Each structure stands twice: as structure tokens, then as C-alpha cells.
Chains A and B, each alone.
Chain A
Amino acid sequence: MASSASATPTPRHPTAIGDFLDRAGMLLVLALLFIGCALFVENFLSWRNMSGLALSVSMTGMVACTMLFCLAAGDFDLSIGSVVACAGVVAALVMNRTGSIAIGVLAGLGCGAVSGLINGVVVAKLRINALITTLATMQIVRGFGYIVSDYKAVGISNESFFVLGNSRPLGIDTPIWITVGCFAVFGFVLNRTVFGRDTLAVGGNAEAAHLAGIAVERIKIIIFTAQGVMAAFAGIVLASRYTSGQPNTSQGFELDVISACVLGGVSLTGGIGSMAFVIAGVLIMGIVQNAMNLLNIAPGYQYVARGMILLAAVLFDRWKRRGSKLP
């Protein structure tokens, strides 16, 4: 992780194609992939499949929004998979105990907020590496979920809670609406607010940002806390879809989210990223997965293919980024 993106920019000749690739990047790959699948994969374009695809990437999409901020600030968060599970369990338990959906949801979100806040404080104030910090909270939170649920799925008795994950306003699943909303809100925050621009500066050079009067620690703490809350929210939506809180769900989810971001072109070393990158990354991952399912490709090959796509994406990005202009 420590290797810098590229200390010395290698020269590149200005060409129309290069410029176009710089700006369009993975969106172009996404478009080609979509067209390819539409042409060659049977049933791919059907409404049923499209909406299934969107639903399957909705959770990754939501959490990728906050992960984008984390990566842009030069950190990342491995604890989100555990938070998804733990928040679902806690929400289910509290809901059953109190009979109130609102209190249950708040308890779940609070669980994510606390874990995110701890991550943020340890990384920002105590200057511990984000990898180690979130690796630790990942295990602590996962364990906590098991302890409070006694290792069992917690069924939810209040059926009106299932509306969150299973209703379909205007024929589209609620989680998809939520994800689209997240894309819009967080994209706006990154591009159009001081907080968003400061985040990119912190990731690009934390010391320079600090000396320019940016409250680096506060920004990192806010980002980690938001990340925790977002993961918890995704966990609550998932619990609603499953009609239960499951302590062993979403293992490895953090890696899906991080790979989607990196696939889209968000830099692991910080300072470079946009919501368009994230959307492209999430959709490419989803489409590949979906197409492979439709083509009945065995799971082993699916893993190999996904890994190779990720590798190809970062290599492509490296090649593309030899240039100098900003996206």
C-alpha cells in the first residue's frame, strides 16, 4: 500500500485518444461491457435481470460512496463487512425487544457510528495505520455481533420493517432508490463542498493540507464515522431484505467495496477519485458477476475472472494516468 502512485510522471504524448481516455476512463469500459453483454448474453437485457442486477449491487454501491471518501483521504476501512452484520443483528434484537422499528434502526446506526468513531479517532488522533486499526475493529465488531446474537440469526417479528428492503415504488426496489440517492448526495458532497475538496487535499498530502489550515483530524474522524453509519444502514436494509439479522453475513464485503472503487479508478494512495469512478466500478463488477451467472460459469472460474479484471483495471489505470490533466 505504501508505494506512491507515481513519483515522477512519465512522459506521454498528447493525443486525442489519450485525452478522451483520461476523461472517460472506466465509463467507456463500462459502456463497452454493457453493449457486449446485451449483444451476446441471453436474457441480459430483460427488465427482470436488469432490476436483479441493480439490486445485487445496491449494497456495494451505498457503502462504496463513503469508502470513496475514505480512499480519497488516503485511508481505507476493512471493518465495514462486520459492521453490516453487527448492525443488522443489533437492529433486529432491539426491534424485537422494544417493538419499535425506529429505536431498532437507531440502535443499529448507533452501533456503526460508534465503531466508525473509534476507527476515526485511532487513525486520526493516535496516528495508527488504517489497515491495522480497521483490521482490529473488523474482528471486534464481528465478534460482538456473534456474542449479542448468540451465533444465531435473529428473526424479526415486526413485518412493517420489511418494507425497507422489499417494497418497489414505481416498480424499482427501494434499496436501488436509496443507492441512487447516495450516489447523488455523496457525489455532490465530494465535488461541490469544501469538505469534499478538503478530503482530496488531505489524501493528496496530509501535511500540506494541515499547514494550509485544513482540520485534517476532524475530516478523517467524520469520514470514518460516516463510513460506519453507512455500513450500518446497509446492514439494516439487508436485515429487512432477509427478514432477520444474521451475524455471519457479508464476510469479505469490504474487499468487494474496495475493489469496486479501485476498479473505477479511485487511487489507493489518496487524493484521486470521483463518484463517476465509483459508479463505473460498482456497475462493472456487478455486470461481470451477473453475466457470468447467466452464462452458468462455475464459481471457481468466476473468482479467477473477477481477480483478473481488477488487475487489468489497475494496470489500465496506471497506463492511462501517465498523463497530467485532471479528470
Chain B
Amino acid sequence: MTPLAFEQLSMEFPGVKALQDVSFEVRAGSVHALMGENGAGKSTLLKILSGAYRPTGGHVVIDGQPRFFRDTREALGAGVAVIYQELHLVPEMTVAENLFLGHLPNRAGLVKRGELAAAARRQLELMGETISPETRVGRLPLAQRQMVEIAKALTRGARIIAFDEPTSSLSDREARRLFAIIRDLRARGCAVLYVSHRMEEIFQLCDRITILRDGKHVETAPLETLTRDAVVQRMVGRQLADIYNYTPRTHGEDALVVHGLRGPGLAAPCSFAAKAGEILGFFGLVGAGRTELLRVIFGAAPKTAGTVKILGREVEVSSPRDAIAAGVVLCPEDRKKEGVVGVRSVLENMNLSARRRHAHGGVLINETWEQANARQRIEQLRVRTPSARQLIRNLSGGNQQKVILGRWLSETVQVLLLDEPTRGIDVGAKSEIYGIMQRLAQEGVCVVMVSSELPEVMGVADRIVVMRQGAIAAVVDRRDATEEKLLKLALPLETSGAKAV
């Protein structure tokens, strides 16, 4: 019997049909990829599966029985676990306590510590994990927390496990471990639904695939019958030639010159220069100090030494406000926490920074400008939103990112700092964002992009700075860049005694 099927699943939000009559099956002992652009309905489908949403039509079928879950608990009770990008663990509690959260082994309300630790250790060993059950979850690196989350699902006897972009913040090595565990789940007969934007891992890991587009089912097929191009084509509904769209540009003067910069998370003084019209990529492993470096340049983290020059003029930046005034802006890595104001509208988010300069006397809102600017940016960046008054949190990740870009394009930008600008964004929106970057560079903006995805850095950047353990390891020209070379530069030097920060 099929452990999991969706039958004519539909979900309507105000003004949006997030899912329309989606039907497909996930087989036992199979890793089933679910792909589609942002807004295609993947997250909605997962939220219905976990009981967060109630569908407006159709149903989820578990072992042949139509089921509705009112919440995650009920879903878990039926053997369904959804593992989200943002993990649902209690950081202050130990691994063991998290594993058995909600059903701690107890006698008359008193927790049986010994039994708890033993059961937790058993489960972790089963997964080949060496984490101590007594460790506080908050002290574990993200990858291990994810393992804890998976172990937690397994202790509840989950047989149907859905992953929502599990590798988006993992290093390659961590991702490989995760894949081993997922393959093991498959071998044990679990039905795994796997959502990711990363084509490589889908083809490595999955045996079947379902593609959604604009809330509709496009195709479900064994993966070996499809090529990558075919998958992408079905996702976007058109042929994609080269998503990076790189065109050589002429570079101008040095726009950003960083010399001897130090600050939190930087192990050594950092120096580099980027020209107007150039796209400078920053590659490195998670924790290599790339985000930290951008934050110091932007004034979001305190500078302890060094200088920053913008268009040849040294600037003293002690807050983001100073940086913006000097023409330096940053699109942060974590859109939800640092980028958007979720409870406010697209217009409010778009005008958040530039409205100061357009206000009458610097005080009174210039309503004409506010409306015109929002409309212009929405058009220019093709933000897909019903109106400028829509709450930004109702937009897809790609569209939220475009609004933040729009916020900065409303300013006079010399240097655009982008921290993982396409994380969690679908192929179509990615390609649009690369297009925007190219266009800005063409117009003479200096673009600095941090990315953990090698193909992206190599596809978009003119030069690539590789960071390693809080310091700049090398600068590589586009023509000389190969995946092996960049990776080798990025990997920690185990023998030299250099300390990671």
C-alpha cells in the first residue's frame, strides 16, 4: 500500500491559489524529490502534510486512509514528520530531552534520567551519530542539530519524512552525511519527500520526482527518465539557456578598497579591492568569516582596525546609516530576521531607507514619492505581488529579496554587498537576480557577493576572493577558477596550526 499520497489537493489564500488539484504518490523505500520554483506550492504542500494548514480541497492519504492533521502532534502520531529549514528544537535542553520532548519516559511525572539517556544514545548510534545525549542542543553546530531533529522524528516512529531544503546551511561534508542517513531511511522502507533547489543533490539522492509549477502538478516520473535541463524546463515552463547570463564588462576605478580590516569573526586583517562595474565573489565554507567581513564594512559590526575607501575617499563607518550615506548597502543573509519587516507592506519595506531623503523637510512623508517609488521598483524588478499594500511576509523568498534590492536601488548605491542573495530562492528568481546584478554592474555599481554555491560564484563573479578560517586565503580570476582550486583554497589548513575563529 502506498504510504503517502496527495489527492486533488487544493489550497487557496486571499488572491492566490497556492495549490490546485495536486495529486501524486510517494512510495515506501523511495526518496521522492519535490521541485518547483518559489511560489510553486512546495511549502504549502509540506505545511498541509504537517498539519499547519488545512487544505481547501482534496486530502492527504496515509496508508490508503484520507487524513487531516490539526497539528504537528497529530501528524507525528500518524508517522509523518516534516523537517523544516528552521529546526524545532529547544536550545536550552539536552539532546536526549529534545529527542523525547513531549513523551519523556517517566514514572508518575518524574523523568527517568537513566532510561532517557540510554534510549537517546541507542537512537543516535543507530544513525551513526556520536553526539553525547547530555549536550545542550544550543551548543551543537547546525548540522548536528539537524541530525537531532531527524533522530527525534525516528523516535516517534515516523515512516513518512519530508525534508524542506535540509542542506541550505550545511557544508558539503555535512550534506554527504545527511544523504547517507536519508539513504539509510530509504533502505529501512521509509517514504522520504525531499524538497530542494539544488539540482546536483536531487540527482544524487532521489529516485522519483514531482515537479510543481504555479500550484499545479506538472509531472511525476522516475528521475532517470529526466535530464537536468528537462527538470528545469518543466519547473520554469520555458527553456533556460544560461541562468548566470555572464557578459564581460569594462571595469572602472577602484570603488571599494578595504585595507587591514579587523573585527569580530575575523582572524587576520583583511585587505581587498573591487572596481566599479565589477562583480566580486566571496567563496568559503560556512563560518569562514565572509558574512562577518561584510558586516564590518557595512557598520553592522564594530571595526577594530583598518580602513575602508569608497571611490578613493576614506569613510568612517560606525553604523549602517553611515554606510548607506557613503553609498554602501547590504542585503543580509537571513532575510526573515534581518531583511524584511514582515508585518508591514511591500511599500513600507521598499521605502524603509530612502524615504528619509525624500521626505518634505526630512520629516513629512512624501506620499507621491512613496507610491511612485514602490510602483517603479515593483515594475523594474518584476516583484510578483498583488499590490504594494500586500504584507511582505506573504511574498515568496525570491520576491522578498527583490523588495530588499528595491530598497537599495532607491538609494544612490556605489557598493552593493550581497550575502547569499539567492539562498532558498528558486531557479527562475535566481536567474532574475543574477540579471539584476549584471545590469547594476553594467551601470557602474560595484557588486560584492558572498555565496556558498560554487557554480554560482564561478558563474557570476569577475574575480573570486576565497576566505578560510576568518582570513582571506586568495583572490582568483574568473578565467583561472576551477571548482577543485576554489575548494582546496577554502578547506581549513589542518596542519599549519591556524586557528579558526
Min CB distance A84 to B, Å, is: 30
CB of A14 within 8 Å of the partner chain: yes
Q: What 0/1 pattern do residues 1 to 35 of B give for CB contact below 8 A with A?
A: 00000000001111100000000000000000000
Question: In this assembly, does B389 line the interface, its C-beta being within 8 Å of a C-beta of chain A?
Answer: yes
**Are B393 and A211 in touch, CB under 8 angstroms?**
no
Given A205-B342, A209-B352, does the pair A14, B320 have CB atoms closer than 8 Å?
no
B362 and A194 form a contact (CB under 8 A): yes
Q: Which of B198-206, B269-277, B333-341 touches A?
A: B333-341
Return the chain A residue nearest B358 by Cβ: A194
Contacts of A5 in B (CB 8 A): 343
Cα distance A5–B11 in the bound complex, in angstroms: 23
Q: Closest residue to B55 on the A side, CB-wise?
A: A11
Question: Which of B332, B363, B365 is close to A211, meaning CB atoms less than 8 Å apart?
Answer: B332
Interface residues as binary, A120-131 with B (CB distance below 8 Å gives 1, 0 otherwise): 000000000000
In the complex, the chain A residue whose C-beta lies closest to that of B345 is A326
Asked if residues B343 and A211 are in contact (CB atoms below 8 Å), the reply is no
Contact with A along B332-371 (1 / 0, CB 8 A): 1000011111111100100011011001001111000000
Q: In the complex, what residues of A have CB within 8 A of residue B52's CB?
A: 8
Give a binary string over A168-206; 1 marks a CB under 8 Å from any B CB, 0 the rest. Answer: 000000000000000000000001111111001100110
Given A14-B14, A211-B320, A212-B407: A205 in contact with B390 (beta carbons within 8 A): no
B390 A194 Cβ-Cβ under 8 A: no
Residue of A nearest to B44 (CB): A11
Cβ of B323: which chain A residues have Cβ within 8 Å of it?
Answer: 213
Would you call A193 and B352 a contact (CB within 8 A)?
A: no
Report chain B residues within 8 Å CB of A14: 14-15
Number of interface residues of B (CB under 8 A): 45
Find the A residue at minimum CB distance from B15.
A14
Task: Establish whether residues A205 and B12, one from each chain, have CB atoms under 8 Å apart when the complex forms.
Answer: no
Q: How far is the CA of A193 from the CA of B359 in the complex (A)?
A: 8
Contact with A along B100-142 (1 / 0, CB 8 A): 0000000000000000000000000000000000000000000
A271 lies within 8 A of B13 (CB):
no
Chain B residue numbers with a CB within 8 Å of A97 are none
Within 8 A of B (CB), among A191-246: 191-197, 200-201, 204-205, 207-215
Is A12 within 8 A of B343, CB to CB? no
B53 within 8 A of A: yes
Q: Is A10 an interface residue (CB 8 A)?
A: yes
Per the bound structure, the CA–CA distance linking A212 and B325 in Å amounts to: 11
Contact B341 A326 (CB under 8 A): no
Taking CB atoms and an 8 Å cut-off, the chain A residues in 93-117 that contact chain B are none
Q: Are B56 and A11 in contact (CB under 8 A)?
A: yes
- Residues A194 and B355 in contact in the complex (CB < 8 Å), given A212-B320, A325-B390, A326-B391: yes
Give the CA-CA distance A210 to B321 in the complex, in Å: 8
Give complex CA distance A58, B338 in Å. Answer: 39
Q: How far is it, in angstroms, between the C-alpha of A267 and the C-alpha of B344 when the chains are bound? A: 12
Which chain A residues numbered 267 to 282 have a C-beta less than 8 Å away from chain B?
267, 271-272
Q: Is the interface of A mostly helix, strand, loop or mixed?
A: loop
The reply to whether B365 and A215 form a contact with Cβ atoms under 8 Å apart is: no
Q: How large is the interface on A (under 10, 10 to 19, 20 to 34, 35 or more residues)?
A: 35 or more
State the CA gap A201–B355 with chains docked (Å): 13
CB-based nearest A residue for B408: A212
B343 touches A271 (CB 8 A): yes
Min CB–CB distance B450 → chain A (angstroms): 15
Q: Kindly state whether residue A13 has any CB partner on chain B within 8 Å.
A: yes
- B181 at the A/B interface (Cβ < 8 Å)? no
Q: How far is the CA of A22 from the CA of B15 in the complex (A)?
A: 15
Taking a contact as CB atoms under 8 Å apart, the answer to whether A213 and B340 are in contact is no
Asked whether B389 lies within 8 Å of A325 as measured between CB atoms, the reply is: yes
> Which residues on A sit within 8 Å (CB–CB) of B339?
208, 211
Q: Kindly list chain A residues whose C-beta atoms are within 8 Å of the C-beta of B500.
A: none
CA distance A12 to B321 in the complex (A): 39
Given the interface contacts A8-B47, A324-B14, does A205 sit within 8 Å of B341 by beta carbon? yes
Question: Does any Cβ of B come within 8 Å of A36's Cβ?
Answer: no
Closest-by-CB residue of B relative to A207 is B338
Roughly how many angstroms separate A317 CA and B356 CA in the complex, as a whole number?
32
Contact yes or no, B348 A11, CB < 8 A = no
- When C-beta atoms are compared, the residue in chain B nearest to A19 turns out to be B14
* Known pairs A8-B52, A271-B344, A324-B390; A201 contacts B14 (CB<8 A): no
A11 to B14: give the CA distance in the assembly, Å: 7
- B233 lies within 8 A of chain A by Cβ: no
Within 8 A of A (CB), among B359-413: 359, 362-365, 389-391, 393-394, 407
Say yes or no: A267 contacts B320, CB within 8 Å.
Answer: no
> B355 to nearest A CB, angstroms?
6
Name A's B-contacting residues (CB within 8 A).
Answer: 5, 8-14, 191-197, 200-201, 204-205, 207-215, 267, 271-272, 323-326
A11-B53, A212-B320 given. 7 additional CB < 8 A pairs?
A194-B359, A208-B339, A211-B330, A212-B324, A213-B323, A214-B352, A325-B389
Closest 5 CB pairs between A and B?
A204-B341, A213-B321, A271-B343, A14-B14, A213-B324
Pairs A–B under 8 Å by Cβ, sample size 13:
A11-B53, A13-B56, A191-B365, A193-B365, A194-B356, A208-B339, A211-B320, A211-B330, A267-B343, A272-B343, A323-B14, A326-B345, A326-B389
